[in-house]
Amino acid sequence: MTSLIPPGCPTVLTEDDRTGTSIETLRRAFMDNLFFIQGRFPEVATKNDYYLALAYTVRDRLLLRWLNSAKTYRDQESRTVCYLSAEFLLGPHLGNNLINLGLYEAVEEAMRQTGLNLKELLDQEEEPGLGNGGLGRLAACYMDSLATLEIPAIGYGIRYEYGIFDQEIRDGWQVEITDKWLRYGNPWEIPRPELILPVKFGGHTYSYTDDQGRYRVIWEPHQVVQGVAYDTPILGYKVNTANLLRLWRAEAVESFDFQAFNTGDYYGAVNQKIASENITKVLYPNDEQLQGKELRLMQEYFFCSCALQDMIRLYKQSGKQDLSRFHEKFTVQLNDTHPAISVAELMRLLVDEHLMPWEQAWDITRQTFAYTNHTLLPEALEKWPLDLFGSLLPRHLQIIYEINRRFLDEVRLQYPGDNDRLRRLSIIDESGCRYVRMAHLAAVGSHAINGVAVLHSELLKQTVLRDFYELTPEKFSNKTNGVTPRRWMVLSNPGLTRLITERIGEDWVKHLDQLRQLEPLAADAEFAAQWRSVKHGNKERLAQYIRDRIGVTVDPHSLFSILVKRIHEYKRQHLCVLKVITLYQMLRDQPHLEMVPQTFIFGGKAAPGYYMAKLIIKFINSVADVINRDPVVRDRLRVVFLPNYNVTLGQRVYPAADLSQQISTAGYEASGTGNMKFALNGALTIGTLDGANVEIREAVGAENFFLFGHTVEQLQELRCNGYRPWEFANGHPMLKRVLDLISSGYFSHGDTELFRPLVEHLWQDDRYCLLADYQSYVDCYQRVLQVYQDQAQWAKMSILNVARMGKFSSDRAIREYCQDIWHVQPVKIVLPATAYMTS
Ligand code: GPV
């Protein structure tokens, strides 16, 4: 019996079909699942049958660890982190779980012996796209790190029936297709139909004094729905810890409204059921753009109420009745303001349902919550019209008024007579239409507030939360984002992982700082050659994918310059297009120009209602069409838009990049995390001093980073003096030619209207200062091309980038949260001698 289990990988002592890890056992368990779960024999089994049979085989090994974790946490009454997030952008489970179990090679071999190819089975998985972008993906990286660091944690969120839409490109435009990710079943979740919790909406409140003289408020809702729990185990890397991701689905309380049914209103009764289930039907596809829809507020309240009721249930399970130590058992992190309603909901549960005095409840609430802000964009700051809020959550509005009244009383003591400050700090925005400001609710109700990169945290204190910072500076800190090296290196870049591990061992996967040991190798010519060959292989595979998917041939020897992220004006994809057109213009002017061959790769989704973002996608595709077909270009320039950018595609793209484009207007990107994934995979960065770019540049060394553009301070000055973008356009002949070429209809079959909004925006207003940064960007690019011509120099810089990226592991970020905010300790999980934990 051969065993490919890496040393140090935890195994159970007995080798049974559900938990054993030898190749032979894995093969037998796999066939067993094909028969008895899928109900198939090999001759008729589809690839999906095989995928599911394998997924269940892996799941059994997960469950062993998960149940032991749950039991240990319960027995030891461990302090637990609860991460509340409206989004968890997990990406496919199978590959990641194999890596974390240390079973990737063993399963690959077991499949080979069965006549199957693991890679093909991995491709079968529909990724759970339960998030929009960076914020949701961060939550997933943090769940991975929490488990890897053996921290007891629960992720709470929403089980959307449809996740982020699939993007198709038709005639250059984005078309949205419903994401039916659950169509073929989800082997990674365990439904808990008995774990159901009621959630109320609407109606009214009344108050009375009870027989013990207590003032009590009763909330009579208009509608009650049920939250049903769906549990997914999240395994750490080569540890026995598997934490819980608990997502909630909304159901009608009864399948029919019996009274309506009996009075003959069958359709009315069924409608009631449909209305309940609509709450968790679909993810709002807006990234950093508020929609203000009632259903969205219902989603937010729905999952927060379920989460908090569940925590109280777990707390009481441990035998304690009185909730005075709730904050000692749980610490709750609010992932932006989407779960901020939790502050009012915990107060309601403690005061109304558990009859706790207000002051005590408020103490517990504030000690329970901490709040992470992820954006400074004004249009992304959540606020709810008072009437909408009050009609949906009448009791919460009262509670918020009371929180606000007491809060403003305290402020008054500190700043007597400063009415302006009171108005600015108030949870209720009273200028014009009245709103509940969710960031203020989160700030008042939390003991800790953080931004997600040094620059962002500073700007937060100077702008959006300035008055809160002046009031309670001790609450504020920075927690720079990080990414998990398991998914974003080990799984997605096996070539580089092998090369690094050969030289410095495998410790770096858990202690990313260890990558620093690569520094001396930057001068090693043989190592550099291997390094370049790994990158080239990754580029070849991406080139093949591009050919298969969109029929464009790209040269893997060309410089791969990549910009993938949500489409947003502040992220300035169109600045990169201006640069591409500039290169094209040069080639048209000088057909024999010797130029470094370059491939520009774009990818990203636009919010369906964001007109400008969709026009930018059309713009990229239109420019790509013209350039890729123009013979004058020969093989010196290619432009590609990859449809449906998601986690799965990210795993192909980051390892294949030479150049990472991080070109947002300074002051707008809170952190960015794609920037980290690129650099970790050996891409060099061309970027502005924005978000975490600042810290990446510091870490890798200014000489290994291509910096351009105005700083936050310079932009502020520019705007103070009245920014006149047309002066920049008129002042730079090349820029003017580029804009004129677009306006002439050159990229739109002569249509001079199509891209007019885009060009006019730039010319007149240019909110994100593309024209101000254009020259600096173009100049910087020249430096990039110069260095790229010296492949040895490029490889050296690439190695140094990777060697110095250790700080950007999500493990580092989670350690900081644990020490500074959560005050939680690791809990070791030991597997018992038998699978059923009876020993
Ligand atoms: I607020 N972010 C996001 O993806 N969606 C949102 O709704 C909000 C923020 C992102 C920021 O844009 C990134 O800069 C940041 O890296 C990421 O959140 C994680 O912090």
Nearest CA to ligand 1 atom 18: 135
Model pLDDT, residue 698: 98
Atom of ligand 1 nearest to the CA of 375: 1
For this structure, is 327 an active site residue?
no
CA of 89 to the centre of ligand 1 (A): 12
What is 80-91+127-195+228-247+286-386+414-481's CATH number?
A: 3.40.50.2000
Atom of ligand 1 nearest to the CA of 456: 14
Model pLDDT, residue 398: 98
**Cα 21 to the center of its chain, rounded Å:** 32
- Numbers of helices and strands, H then E, in the chain: 33, 24
- CB neighbours of 708 closer than 8 A, spacing ≥ 6? 663, 686, 687, 688, 773, 776, 777, 779, 780
Nearest CA to ligand 1 atom 19: 135
Q: Which residue is catalytic, options 338, 461, 565, 572?
A: 565
Of 141, 142, 286, 374, the residue with max ligand 1 atoms within 8 A of its CB, to mutate for a pocket test, comes to 374
Mean pLDDT of the chain: 96
Model pLDDT, residue 565: 98
Pick the CATH number of 495-709+777-805 from 3.40.50.40, 2.30.40.10, 2.40.50.140, 3.40.50.2000: 3.40.50.2000
> In this model, does residue 582 exceed pLDDT 60?
yes
Atom of ligand 1 nearest to the CA of 377: 1
Angle between helices 47-76 and 104-113 (to 10 degrees): 150
- The amino acid occupying position 614 is K
pLDDT digits (tens, 9 = 90+) for 741-766: 999 999 999 999 999 999 999 999 99
Only one residue has tokens 């209207």, namely 753
Model pLDDT, residue 257: 58
**What DSSP element (H or E) covers 192?**
strand 190-201
Ligand 1, pocket residues at CB < 6 Å: 132-135, 138, 287-288, 336, 374-375, 380, 452, 481, 669-673, 691
Model pLDDT, residue 838: 53
Atom of ligand 1 nearest to the CA of 288: 7
Model pLDDT, residue 1: 34
CA of 374 to the centre of ligand 1 (A): 5
CA of 378 to the centre of ligand 1 (A): 13
Of the candidates 56, 3, 4, 60, the residue with the CA atom closest to the CA atom of residue 34: 56
Model pLDDT, residue 261: 61
For this structure, is 566 an active site residue?
yes
pLDDT > 70: what percent of the chain? 97
CA distance 691 to 581: 27
CB-count exposure of residue 143 (10 Å: 0-12, 13-18, 19+):
buried
Model pLDDT, residue 12: 46
Of 135, 333, 381, 690, the residue with max ligand 1 atoms within 8 A of its CB, to mutate for a pocket test, comes to 135
CA of 686 to the centre of ligand 1 (A): 20
Nearest CA to ligand 1 atom 2: 135
Looking from the CA of 391 toward its CB, the CA atoms found within 13 Å total: 6
Atom of ligand 1 nearest to the CA of 286: 7
Confidence class for position 2, pLDDT limits 50, 70, 90: very low
Is 315:417 a contact under the CB 8 Å cutoff? Answer: no
Sequential DSSP letters for 568-597? -GGGTHHHHHHHHHHHHHHHHH-TT-----
- CB neighbours of 760 closer than 8 A, spacing ≥ 6? none
pLDDT digits (tens, 9 = 90+) for 442-452: 999 999 999 99
Is 122:66 a contact under the CB 8 Å cutoff? Answer: no
Nearest CA to ligand 1 atom 6: 288
> In this model, does residue 819 exceed pLDDT 50?
yes
pLDDT digits (tens, 9 = 90+) for 145-190: 999 999 999 999 999 999 999 999 999 999 999 999 999 999 999 9
CA of 376 to the centre of ligand 1 (A): 10
> In this model, does residue 3 exceed pLDDT 50?
no
Question: Would you put residue 115 in left (φ > 0), alpha (ψ -120 to 50) or beta?
Answer: left
CA distance 814 to 458: 20
> In this model, does residue 360 exceed pLDDT 50?
yes
Read off the pLDDT of each residue in 797-819 and give the average, rounded to a whole number: 99
CA distance 569 to 261: 51
For this structure, is 673 an active site residue?
yes
pLDDT digits (tens, 9 = 90+) for 595-608: 999 999 999 999 99
For this structure, is 677 an active site residue?
yes
CA of 59 to the centre of ligand 1 (A): 31
Q: Which residue is catalytic, options 80, 497, 673, 688?
A: 673
Q: Which residue is catalytic, options 374, 437, 572, 636?
A: 374
CA distance 373 to 200: 28
Read off the pLDDT of each residue in 31-38 and give the average, rounded to a whole number: 97
For this structure, is 374 an active site residue?
yes
For the chain, how long is the longest CA-to-CA vector?
Answer: 93
> In this model, does residue 834 exceed pLDDT 60?
yes
Of 137, 141, 288, 676, the residue with max ligand 1 atoms within 8 A of its CB, to mutate for a pocket test, comes to 288
CA of 154 to the centre of ligand 1 (A): 21
The ipTM (two decimal places) reads 0.98
Of 287, 375, 481, 675, the residue with max ligand 1 atoms within 8 A of its CB, to mutate for a pocket test, comes to 375
Q: What are the residue boundaries of the structural domains of the chain, listed by start? A: 1-76+93-125, 80-91+127-195+228-247+286-386+414-481, 495-709+777-805
> In this model, does residue 88 exceed pLDDT 90?
yes
For β-strands 448-451 and 598-603, DSSP reports them as unpaired
CB-count exposure of residue 722 (10 Å: 0-12, 13-18, 19+):
exposed
Read off the pLDDT of each residue in 492-496 and give the average, rounded to a whole number: 98
Read off the pLDDT of each residue in 657-662 and give the average, rounded to a whole number: 99
CA distance 133 to 287: 7
CA distance 146 to 813: 10
CA distance 194 to 229: 8
Read off the pLDDT of each residue in 539-560 and give the average, rounded to a whole number: 98
Atom of ligand 1 nearest to the CA of 481: 20
Is 251:228 a contact under the CB 8 Å cutoff? Answer: yes
Looking from the CA of 729 toward its CB, the CA atoms found within 13 Å total: 21
Q: Dump strand ranges (E) for 213-363.
A: 215-220, 223-235, 242-252, 330-335
Model pLDDT, residue 334: 99
**What DSSP element (H or E) covers 622?**
helix 611-629
Atom of ligand 1 nearest to the CA of 669: 14
Model pLDDT, residue 837: 64
Read off the pLDDT of each residue in 660-685 and give the average, rounded to a whole number: 98
> In this model, does residue 92 exceed pLDDT 80?
yes
Identical fold between 80-91+127-195+228-247+286-386+414-481 and 495-709+777-805: yes
Model pLDDT, residue 258: 57
In degrees, rounded to 5, the angle at the alpha carbon of residue 12 between the alpha carbons of residues 7 and 14 is: 120
CA of 375 to the centre of ligand 1 (A): 6
Model pLDDT, residue 288: 85
CA of 426 to the centre of ligand 1 (A): 25
Model pLDDT, residue 265: 79
Model pLDDT, residue 13: 47
